[in-house]
Amino acid sequence: MAEEVEEEQKKGGLVKIIIFVVAGIMLIAVGLGIGYFIFGGEPEPDPSAEVNQIIEGKEAEKKEKKDDSEKKEEGAEGEDGIIKKNVKAVPEVDAYETTYFEFPGDFTTNLKGSRKFLQVSVGVSTQYDEKVMEVVDSHQLALRSEILSTISDFTEEDISGSDGKKKLSDRLMVVLNKKLEALKEFPGIEDVYFTAFILQ
């Protein structure tokens, strides 16, 4: 019987040792898990390293900009060894193309209530297709007559200054479009320009 008690004590001691070892391992594992969760798995980056990266990035950016500007100033060397100036590409824009037509020769006529006369060169523009300018060209005779009679309706005071020129320009646009309509053509003139304007 004494032997049985001794064996039970040995078994009880062994069980206690196993329990303590398992509990110790579990405590270590739980502690490591909590530490990993709290402090994160990755070490925090060194702040001085981040500052260096930022500085190096800015210096590299400045260097690239400087190199690009030098290339633009110097131009590119062509195949034949001649330095050619770089030209900026014009961006494609979805816009209507403006077409211009200048009446050949000058228009000279007396002004209303004055001994002075006005000599002008007139051009017109449209953003419709080129057909409008072809129509203007084909009806030059009738349109020239309208231009001369309209100018002669203006006085010297009417055409003075940039506002006066703008009024004459607007009036000519209306008159020319009306004449095109009367000729059963599309009235597509959108602006009138003076390439010469001499009052004598």
Kindly report the pTM of this predicted structure.
Answer: 0.53
Instruction: Specify whether 38 is located in the same domain as 48.
Output: no
What pLDDT shows up at residue 20?
Answer: 82
* 115 located within any domain: yes
Q: Is residue 91 part of a domain?
A: no
Measured between its terminal Cα atoms, the distance across the chain in Å is 147
Q: Which structural domain range is residue 156 located in?
A: 99-199
Q: Counting beta carbons within 10 angstroms of the beta carbon of residue 136, is it exposed (0 to 12), middle (13 to 18) or buried (19 or more)?
A: buried
Residue labelled with tokens 């950016």: 61
pLDDT at 34: 83
Q: How far apart are CA 5 and CA 9, in angstroms?
A: 6
Q: Domain count of the chain?
A: 3
Q: How far is 123 from 101, CA to CA, in rounded Å?
A: 5
Confirm whether 144 is domain-assigned: yes
In this structure, the answer to whether residues 47 and 37 fall within a common structural domain is no
DSSP secondary structure letters along 79-123: TTS-EE---PPPPP---PPPEEEE-SS-EEEEPTTSS-EEEEEEE
CATH number at residue 105: 3.30.479.30
Assigned domain for 90 exists: no
Same domain, 6 and 54: no
Binned average pLDDT, 10 residues per bin, the chain of 200 residues: 60 78 85 76 60 64 61 53 61 73 92 89 90 91 93 90 92 94 91 91
Q: Looking at this protein, which amino acid is placed at residue 178?
A: K
Residues 65 and 156 in one domain: no
Q: Is residue 20 part of a domain?
A: yes
- Give the pLDDT of residue 191: 93
Q: Does a structural domain hold residue 178?
A: yes
CA distance 151 to 74: 53
Cα→Cα distances 163→13, 17, 160, 188, Å = 114, 109, 7, 24
Q: What is the pLDDT of residues 26-55, one digit of tens each?
A: 888 888 878 777 776 555 556 666 656 666
Phi/psi at 122 (nearest 5 deg)? -120, 135
Residue of 166, 169, 198, 191 whose CA lies nearest to 101: 191
187 and 114 belong to one structural domain: yes
What are phi and psi for residue 45, nearest 5 degrees?
Answer: -65, 150
Same domain, 29 and 111: no
Structural domain contains residue 119: yes
